């Protein structure tokens, strides 16, 4: 796993009118680091616990780049003194690209993986484009420092991370803030764990919302090891015992910000627990996936549910003994579906199902149901009515 530290550096205003105020920052383990730029304290704190593979620092041409020197041990600062004053002097009017590159090169001798990125603060797209391009494809632990810079910059960077989580393997995210305004003798360092929790809940619930895959969101709600339960449901099995355990655990969630999420999941799982018959569970899953815009799944499920119900109308109890339901039912459809609209509906449903599954549209009359979502929706809804008619 790669450890990536993201910091923002601004201008600051100390008593001399330039740079940040020298502050002693205290971390949760009691360690303190005195520095003007909080990112330096955070890097040194993290470096004691883990290797930092990359440290990206975003700032403008007038940011206090010279303050990064506090990251380096006192024994080596003299080696950078001449360049330090050059950087410090140029910051007043705007540091040149060459000087910033030279400063990065010198710092990298003592801070491996450091990269100084000069940005236009109003180029909002830059952060996300930079991260997509530069973050590796390994599993990533992201540490975000939101202490300095223009107030809006950390927000843009945070939302950029939420977006790129869809494309990069961000395993964990920690957010740190050096709270200078809460300073007594020392300024406390706040690790905002709750944001990481909300981040995980948000992304995993979105996966569930649009796909139906619930193990990840349940894990973030404190309910572990539900992958096989989901697999069994996908295979049209009814893991009743496991579903009861999940719904009971969802009921026991106490934090109010989690209960809304838990209630929504329970509401959608409840029909699978309550429906005794396979075909009824298939119908519930068909409606479930239709609402999540997973039309092929909903189509396959509603077709299979209707064929099972049709076989039962013939008095057949051992459904699974029939190897080819489609062929078995072919000449019996008028006997089961006595009204013309029912026969027409089933014929179209079967044709659309076969065309969609096999990718082979032989009947041009089916084009509209394959190409037009509204037409498919009409077919799906009328097929639900057909199913209910077959239950009577």
The enclosing domain of 74 has a CATH number of 3.40.50.10640
Burial class (CB in 10 A: 0-12, 13-18, 19+), 108: middle
Alpha carbon 110 to its chain centroid, in Å, reads: 35
C-alpha distances in Å from residue 312, one per residue of 22, 73, 319, 347, 390: 80, 80, 8, 19, 9
Instruction: Identify whether 269 is part of a domain.
Output: yes
Give pLDDT tens digits along the chain (392 positions). Answer: 999 999 999 886 654 555 677 889 999 988 999 998 999 999 999 988 889 999 999 999 999 999 999 999 888 889 999 999 999 999 888 999 999 999 999 999 999 999 999 999 899 999 999 999 999 999 999 999 999 888 888 889 988 998 898 899 998 889 999 988 887 788 999 998 888 888 889 889 988 988 889 999 999 999 999 999 999 988 888 898 999 999 999 999 999 999 999 999 999 899 888 888 889 999 999 998 999 899 999 999 999 999 999 999 988 878 777 878 878 888 888 889 989 999 999 999 999 998 888 887 777 778 888 889 999 999 999 999 999 999 87
Same domain, 226 and 353: no
Looking at the structure, tell me whether residues 121 and 50 fall in a common domain: yes
Residue 17 falls in which region: left (phi positive, over 0), alpha (psi -120 to 50) or beta: left
Secondary structure element (H or E) that encloses residue 234, with its range: helix 227-234
Q: How far is CA 265 from CA 213, 225, 237, 246, 252, in A?
A: 11, 16, 19, 10, 13
Q: Quote the tokens at residue 152.
A: 């809006």
Domain contains 267: yes
Q: What are phi and psi of 23, to 5 degrees?
A: -140, 145
User: Do residues 171 and 226 share a domain?
Assistant: no
In-domain check, residue 304: yes
Tokens of 42: 């955070």
Query: What Rg, from alpha-carbon coordinates, does the chain have?
Result: 30
Structural domain boundaries enclosing 357: 277-392
Asked if residue 86 and residue 37 are part of one domain, the reply reads yes
Name 67's Cβ contacts closer than 8 Å, sequence gap at least 6. Answer: 9, 12, 19, 20, 35, 36, 37, 40
The verdict on 22 and 138 lying in the same domain is yes
Whether residue 10 sits in one domain with residue 59: yes
Three-class SS of residue 141? strand
Give a yes or no: residue 199 inside a domain.
no
**Residue 197 counted as domain residue:** no
Which residue in this structure is represented by tokens 């206090």? 64
Domain boundary among 234, 253, 274: 274
Q: Counting beta carbons within 10 angstroms of the beta carbon of residue 238, is it exposed (0 to 12), middle (13 to 18) or buried (19 or more)?
A: middle
Question: 243 and 306: one domain?
Answer: no
Number of domains in the chain: 3
Q: Establish if 72 belongs to a structural domain.
A: yes
- Strand spans (E) along 180-317: 187-191
pLDDT at 18: 56
Residues 229 and 371 in one domain: no
3-state secondary structure 83-111: HHHHHHHHCCCCCCHHHHHHHHHHHCCCC
Q: How far apart are CA 107 and CA 318, in angstroms?
A: 76
Decide which of 191, 217, 233 is a domain's last residue.
Answer: 191
Question: Are 216 and 316 members of one domain?
Answer: no
DSSP string, 355-383: HHHHT----GGGHHHHH-HHHHHHHHHHH
Same domain, 89 and 138: yes
Q: Which of 156, 191, 226 is the last residue of a domain?
A: 191
- Tell whether 119 and 6 lie within a shared domain: yes
Q: Cα(239)–Cα(244) distance, rounded to whole angstroms?
A: 9
DSSP state of 242: H
Q: Give yes or no: residues 40 and 131 share one domain.
A: yes
Residue 231 lies in a domain: yes
Residue 15: predicted pLDDT: 45
pTM above 0.85, yes or no: no
Answer whether residue 95 is part of any domain: yes
Which helix (H) or strand (E) is 34 found in, with range? strand 32-35
């Amino acid at each position: 796993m790669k450890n990536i530290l993201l910091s923002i550096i601004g201008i600051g205003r100390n008593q001399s009118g330039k740079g940040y105020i020298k502050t002693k920052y205290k971390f949760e383990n009691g360690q303190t680091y005195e520095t003007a730029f909080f990112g330096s304290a955070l890097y040194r704190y993290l470096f004691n616990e883990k290797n930092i593979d990359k440290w990206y620092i975003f700032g403008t041409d007038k940011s206090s780049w010279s303050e990064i020197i506090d990251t380096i041990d006192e024994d080596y600062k003299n080696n950078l003194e001449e360049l330090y004053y050059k950087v410090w002097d140029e910051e007043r009017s705007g540091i040149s690209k060459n000087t910033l590159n030279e400063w990065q090169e010198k710092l990298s001798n003592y801070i491996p993986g450091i990269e100084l990125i000069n940005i236009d603060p109003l180029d909002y797209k830059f952060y996300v484009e930079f991260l997509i391009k530069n973050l590796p494809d390994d599993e990533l632990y992201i540490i975000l420092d939101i202490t300095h810079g223009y107030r809006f910059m950390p927000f843009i960077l945070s939302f950029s991370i939420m977006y790129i989580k869809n494309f990069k393997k961000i395993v964990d995210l920690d957010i740190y803030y050096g709270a200078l305004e809460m300073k007594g003798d020392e300024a406390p360092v706040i690790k905002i764990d709750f944001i990481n929790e909300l981040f995980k809940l948000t992304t995993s619930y979105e996966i569930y919302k649009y796909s139906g895959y619930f193990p990840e969101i349940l894990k973030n709600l404190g309910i572990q090891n539900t992958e096989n339960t989901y697999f069994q449901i996908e295979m049209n099995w009814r893991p009743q015992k496991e579903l009861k355990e999940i719904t009971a655990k969802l009921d026991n969630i106490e934090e109010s910000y989690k209960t809304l999420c838990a209630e929504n999941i329970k509401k959608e799982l409840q029909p699978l627990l309550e429906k005794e018959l396979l075909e009824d569970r298939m119908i519930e899953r068909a409606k479930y996936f239709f609402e999540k815009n997973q039309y092929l799944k909903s189509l396959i499920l509603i077709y299979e549910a209707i064929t099972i119900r049709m076989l039962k109308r013939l008095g057949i109890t051992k459904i699974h003994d029939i190897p080819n339901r489609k062929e078995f039912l072919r000449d019996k459809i008028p006997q089961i579906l006595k009204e013309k609209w029912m026969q027409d509906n089933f014929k179209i449903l079967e044709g659309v199902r076969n065309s969609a599954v096999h990718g082979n549209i032989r009947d041009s009359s089916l084009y509209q149901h394959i190409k037009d979502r509204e037409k498919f929706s009409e077919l799906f809804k009328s097929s639900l009515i057909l199913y209910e008619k077959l239950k009577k």
